[in-house]
Structures are given as C-alpha cells and as structure tokens.
C-alpha cells in the first residue's frame, strides 16, 4: 500500500482545490467556451444601448395650416466606438427602406463634427444634434464588431434607438420608404420574370416601371381574368400562387401595403375626389400630404 508523505499529500490537496476553483468561469478567462461577457462584468463590461434623447421643434410658419416638425437627436456612442474593432459606421432607416448613411441627418454647417458625438454645444454656439424634418418612423442603427477577451470577434447591431417625426410625407417619399421595400422583398422575385410577370410585371431593374405597373393594378377595378376580385382580394387569396410568400410578410409590411392600396382605391372610387391613382399619384416630390404620422405621446417640444 502506497503511503503519502505529509508534504506530498498537502501538494495534492492544493492541486485539487485549485482545479475545483478553476471551473468554467475561471477557465473562461483563457478562452473557455463557457465564458459569457454579459455576465462576467468584472472582466468585460456588457455592450449596452447608449443614452439618447429626442426633442422636437415646431417649424410651422405662422401663416400656414401645415404641421411641420424637426426632430433633434442627442447621442454619444464614443465609448462603444472605442471598444469596437474597426469603429462604428452609423446608419438610419426610415420606414421599411434600406439603411441610409447618417450624413443625411448631419448639419453640414457645423464646423467641428465628431462622428460619434451629436449634441447642442452651447460653449461654441453650434447645434450638432442629428436632425430631420421628413415625417416618418426612424431607426438609428449602430453596426460594429468587438474583440472579446477570449480573442473572438463578435458582431453587434444596436437598433433600439427609434423615434417618429410627426406630420405628412409626400406620397413620393411614402412610396419609396414604405411601399417599394415591401414589393422588393416579397413580390419582385416572382413578378419580374416567368408566368407571374405576364399578369403583373414588377421590374427588378426599373423602379419607375415597377411603380407604374403597381399603380395600374391598384387603379384597375379587378385583377385580370380568370382571377376574380380586387387586387387586395387576390393577393391574400389561396388562388394566388405566391400565397405562401404573402403569408410570410411581417405584420407591419402587410398592414402598410393593405392600408396604402385601400386608401388609393377609396380616392379612386370617390366621385367627389377628382384625383386619379395613375395620374395624380405619379409620386413626384411635390405630391400632396396623404400619408401622415401622429405626434408621439411622449413628445418633448423645444422652443425654436
């Protein structure tokens, strides 16, 4: 029978204690797969949405009945940018449109633009807040990578920064930001080529042709024979070969498309309204205010 010298026994005991102490959490600091940066705060500060605030300025002329507002967004994501691997290229989304560069929301007259800090700098008298006066729903997007202490590069997308600019869009902007993306995501794939395009051609290459074809279908009393019913009836019917694609639409996409077609049809069917869908809704930049956004319930108004 092997007998352990007291000093040997002590050494083994210390080794066992050390191994017990080095569970997943301790091993994780040298790359263990169980390491979690969002719960291991002493080794890695969690990634969080930066603080931001939005105030609104009433820009409506005294002699106008319009409701013109400018939204001013204060935000500082310098700390996140410093932690990111390659910096942050911020973008914004209006409606369902593709992301746009944030430069569109920056006042070009500001002399010392910091690409991660946007605030009203009272010391130098320059208002560097992000700003927009185009009505609609907005979403700021911060897309970046962070190197974890275990060496992994992890992608983050922060898209919780949202606000609404009240007022009415021109129909041109509403179509481009809300309707066209729905058609592009759900309809163009089938209706640009093949059998489906013969009845309803939504060009993938020409936005103008796509818009004209779409409005012509909205303007028609019904879909082409042998199909029956209105355009909305057919889109959501089981007879539609693209019914599964339509069913996969998000609730917001379906709501936007349905309300848009319904509103245009109501205008077209109203004998007292002389506008026509394909003539007066050509969606030029000067088209009227038919697509409006209500004031946010928590709207903070700033004196101009």
Alpha-carbon span 29 to 277, nearest angstrom: 64
Alpha-carbon span 268 to 88, nearest angstrom: 47
Alpha-carbon span 48 to 289, nearest angstrom: 38
Alpha-carbon span 99 to 208, nearest angstrom: 21
Give the model confidence (pLDDT) of 102-113 as tens digits.
989 998 777 766
Tokens of 293: 């956004």
Task: Identify the residue with better confidence: 125 or 139.
Answer: 139
Mode of pairing for the β-strands spanning 91-94 and 100-101: antiparallel
Give the model confidence (pLDDT) of 190-218 as tens digits.
888 766 766 778 888 877 888 888 888 87
pLDDT at 12 over 50: no
pLDDT value, residue 239:
82
| Length, in residues, of the chain | 304
Alpha-carbon span 265 to 191, nearest angstrom: 22
Mean pLDDT (whole number) for 229-252: 85
- Which stretch, 57-71, 83-97, 273-287, has highest mean pLDDT? 83-97
Tokens of 76: 């500082």
User: Which region among 93-107, 164-178, 217-231, 288-302 has the lowest average model confidence (pLDDT)?
Assistant: 217-231
Average pLDDT along the chain: 79
pLDDT value, residue 163:
96
SS3 state at 141: strand
Alpha-carbon span 289 to 136, nearest angstrom: 12
pLDDT value, residue 14:
47
What's this model's pTM, rounded to 2 decimal places?
A: 0.75
CA-based nearest residue to 202, from 157, 145, 233, 245: 245
pLDDT value, residue 18:
46
Report which DSSP code applies to 179: I
pLDDT value, residue 25:
43
Widest CA span in the chain: 107
Alpha-carbon span 223 to 240, nearest angstrom: 11
Alpha-carbon span 67 to 168, nearest angstrom: 8
pLDDT at 270 over 80: no
Dihedral angle computed from the Cα positions of residues 225, 229, 232 and 234, in that order, rounded to the nearest 10 degrees: -50
pLDDT value, residue 22:
45
CA 64 to chain centre: 32
Task: Collect all residues with Cβ–Cβ distance below 8 Å to 225 and sequence separation of at least 6.
Answer: none
pLDDT at 13 over 70: no
pLDDT value, residue 50:
94
Mean pLDDT (whole number) for 19-33: 45
Q: How many CB atoms lie within 10 A of CB 14?
A: 10
Give the model confidence (pLDDT) of 32-85 as tens digits.
555 566 666 556 778 889 999 999 999 887 776 667 899 999 999 999 999 999
Tokens of 90: 């911020």
């Amino acid at each position: 029978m092997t007998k352990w010298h007291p000093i040997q026994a002590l050494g083994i005991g210390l080794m066992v204690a050390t191994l017990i102490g080095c569970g997943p959490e301790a091993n994780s600091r040298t790359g263990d797969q169980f390491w979690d940066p969002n719960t291991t705060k002493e080794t890695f500060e969690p990634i969080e949405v930066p603080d931001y605030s939005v105030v609104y300025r009433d820009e409506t002329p005294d002699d106008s009945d319009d409701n013109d507002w400018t939204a001013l967004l204060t935000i500082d994501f310098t700390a996140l940018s410093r932690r990111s691997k390659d910096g942050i290229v911020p973008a914004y989304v209006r409606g369902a449109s593709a992301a746009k560069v944030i430069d569109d929301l920056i006042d070009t007259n500001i002399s010392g633009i910091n690409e991660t800090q946007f605030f009203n700098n009272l010391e130098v008298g320059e208002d560097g807040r992000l700003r927009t006066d185009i009505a609609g729903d907005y979403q700021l997007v911060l897309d970046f990578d962070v190197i974890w202490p275990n060496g992994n590069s992890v992608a983050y997308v922060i898209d919780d920064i949202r606000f609404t600019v009240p007022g009415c869009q021109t129909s041109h902007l509403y179509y481009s930001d809300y309707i066209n993306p729905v058609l592009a995501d759900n309809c163009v794939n089938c209706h640009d080529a093949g059998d489906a395009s013969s009845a309803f051609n939504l060009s993938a290459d020409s936005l103008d042709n796509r818009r004209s074809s779409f409005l012509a279908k909205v303007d028609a009393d019904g879909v082409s024979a042998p199909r029956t019913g209105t355009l909305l009836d057919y889109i959501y019917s089981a007879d539609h070969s693209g019914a599964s694609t339509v069913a996969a639409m998000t609730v917001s996409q379906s709501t936007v498309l349905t309300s848009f077609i319904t509103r245009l049809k109501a205008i077209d069917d109203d004998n007292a309204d002389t506008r026509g869908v394909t003539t007066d809704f050509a969606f030029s930049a000067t088209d009227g205010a038919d697509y409006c956004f209500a004031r946010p319930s928590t709207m903070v108004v700033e004196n101009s």
